[in-house]
């Protein structure tokens, strides 16, 4: 039990010593998320993404520093060992499950993964509340960390239900990024627009026209789609007047 106490004290000391750096990092993260607000994965959504990945890294560090706490020999018959395992292991596992699901969500951007992540966060919140109750009763020094984790989950869970950005990016796919294209195909759309422009410059007018029209049909209400329509209309006039063939 003495070894566990030392491990917890070391962890808390390491966490509190770089407070200045943590404050600067938080400010820089806030600025970065604010500047990215015009991108699909930007603003609060980028903050959520960053927070969930950082949480997984912090959990890895916590497991490393508190590893002795998971060994029965450390407790020497202390009846609180089972309570400690119940408080920590489910919560730690959910951090990694959430991070993996979030990675898939931001990679594939499907609405089903949003629904799955909502359920996982709700389950995680239940485990964390159990941890809070156990820590308050038996491990008071650790309770503040569990409480902070619970507060974070209470913020992000409603966010996934109420955010217009989340709905536009993952459900309706109507979010326009700074380039004017809608996600999740913004990058491929920009490449196709560049290809159409290259075809037009190389005299392959009909191929360029077909590609411009396809882009407009794919993204009818975006700035990029409107630009493609303007290019298509201009090419049609040139074809009608015989300026190009």
| CB distance 51 to 98 below 8 Å | no
Model pLDDT, residue 145: 84
Model pLDDT, residue 123: 96
pLDDT in tens, 97-156: 999 999 999 988 889 999 999 999 999 999 999 999 998 888 887 788 889 889 999 999
| Mean pLDDT score, 161-188 | 72
* Residue 229 CB-density burial (10 A; 0-12 exposed, 13-18 middle, 19+ buried): middle
Model pLDDT, residue 153: 93
User: Where along the chain do its domains lie?
Assistant: 2-170, 186-241
Model pLDDT, residue 194: 82
d(CA 124, CA 223): 40
* Residue 67 CB-density burial (10 A; 0-12 exposed, 13-18 middle, 19+ buried): exposed
Selected residue with higher pLDDT from 72 and 179: 72
Which residues, including other chains, have CB under 8 Å from residue 121's CB and lie 6 or more apart?
Answer: 98, 153, 156, 157, 160
| CB distance 227 to 197 below 8 Å | no
Q: Which range, of 13-27, 36-50, 178-192, 228-242, averages the lowest pLDDT?
A: 13-27
- With the CA atoms of 121, 150, 54 and 45 taken in that order, what torsion angle do they form, in degrees rounded to the nearest 10? 60
Prediction pTM value? 0.66
| Mean pLDDT score, 168-186 | 66
Which residues, including other chains, have CB under 8 Å from residue 189's CB and lie 6 or more apart?
Answer: 181, 182, 215, 218, 219, 224
| CB distance 102 to 117 below 8 Å | yes
| CB distance 186 to 177 below 8 Å | yes
Predicted confidence (pLDDT) at residue 8 exceeds the cutoff of 50: no
Work out the percent of the chain whose per-residue pLDDT is above 90: 27
pLDDT in tens, 43-59: 899 999 998 999 899 89
- For residue 184, whether the previous peptide bond is cis, meaning omega lies within 30 degrees of 0, is yes
């Amino acid at each position: 039990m003495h070894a566990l106490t030392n491990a917890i004290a070391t962890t808390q000391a390491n966490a509190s010593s770089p407070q200045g750096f943590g404050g600067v990092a938080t400010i820089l993260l806030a600025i970065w998320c604010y500047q990215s607000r015009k991108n699909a994965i930007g603003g609060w959504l980028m903050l959520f993404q960053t927070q969930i990945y950082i949480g997984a890294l912090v959990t890895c560090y916590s497991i490393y520093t508190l590893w002795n706490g998971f060994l029965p020999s450390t407790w020497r018959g202390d009846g609180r060992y089972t309570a400690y395992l119940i408080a920590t292991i489910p919560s730690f596992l959910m951090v990694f499950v959430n991070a993996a699901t979030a990675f898939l969500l931001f990679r594939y951007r499907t609405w089903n993964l949003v629904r799955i992540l909502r359920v996982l966060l709700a389950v995680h919140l239940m485990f964390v509340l159990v941890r809070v109750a156990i820590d308050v009763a038996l491990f008071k020094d650790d309770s503040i960390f569990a409480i902070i984790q619970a507060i974070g989950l209470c913020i992000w869970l409603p966010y996934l239900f109420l955010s217009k950005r989340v709905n536009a990016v993952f459900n309706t796919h109507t979010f326009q990024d700074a380039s004017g294209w809608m996600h999740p195909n913004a990058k491929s759309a920009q490449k196709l627009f560049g290809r159409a422009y290259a075809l037009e410059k190389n005299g392959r007018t009909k191929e360029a026209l077909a590609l411009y029209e396809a882009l407009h049909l794919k993204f009818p209400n975006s700035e990029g789609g409107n630009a493609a329509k303007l290019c298509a209309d201009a090419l049609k006039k040139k074809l009608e007047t015989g300026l190009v063939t």
